[in-house]
Amino acid sequence: MTVHSPLRSPSPLDRPPSRFAHRPFYAETLTLLRGVRDNDFTTLNWLCDDEFGIVDVDPEGASRVVRNRVDWERWLHERFVTLDERHASTDFEILSYKATRDADLGYSVVEFRQFVTGGEHVATFDCIATIIWKRTDRGWREARRHATVMSAELSAEFQLSAPPAA
């Protein structure tokens, strides 16, 4: 898997807003978003149990429902292969972050801007995600995530799912 350089240098995830650093699961959320940005299946596999599935945003801004772990792995591999084949990359900027935690369960709500570049085109998606976190013998893990696109800016030419022009 190719790790693409972020849309902007430095990546917003490499200089995240410090005002959220004291909140529960912020470090884990940064790791999660960096894993997606870097096409890092190993890190995502370690951090995410997602035993109840996820609702995610695909690289073109559509909702993608993933109901179980097998489908989750397939979805990530498909997403990373598509981005790699299209020489595309993704990056994130955290806009807002809230979280609460009890002894064994917690949740976070993160508003973020996702940037997807494909060739000369850039798509921008403003999203909100609710993440359910559970304590395991390996530490805190994502148990469920639901991400929704609130707004999108993309040109008519932006399309990653179609085969590249010959």
Helix (H, G, I), strand (E, B) or coil at 42: helix
Task: Tell me the average pLDDT across 41-47.
Answer: 96
Cα distance between residue 119 and residue 55, in whole Å: 27
Domain of residue 52, CATH code: 3.10.450.50
CA-based torsion, 82, 84, 87, 89: positive or negative: positive
Per-residue pLDDT at 6: 42
Question: Does residue 73 form part of some domain?
Answer: yes
Whether 7 is covered by a domain: the verdict is no
Range(s) of the domain holding residue 148 = 22-153
> Can you tell me the distance from the alpha carbon of 48 to that of 56, in angstroms, rounded to the nearest whole number?
13
Q: What is the pTM of this model?
A: 0.87
**pLDDT in the model for residue 161:** 57
When divided into structural domains, the chain yields a total of: 1
Is 78 within a domain?
yes
In a domain, 3, yes or no: no
Does residue 87 form part of some domain? Answer: yes
Mean pLDDT of the chain, nearest integer:
88
User: Is 5 inside a domain boundary?
Assistant: no
Q: What is the pLDDT of residues 97-114, one digit of tens each?
A: 999 999 999 999 999 999
Determine the Cα–Cα distance for residues 7 and 125; give it in Å rounded to an integer.
14
Residue 59 lies in a domain: yes
- Assign 8 a pLDDT band (cuts: 50, 70, 90): low
**99 token code pair:** 């979280």
Domain assignment present for 162: no
- The reported pLDDT for the residue numbered 108 is 98
Residue 136 has pLDDT above 50, yes or no: yes
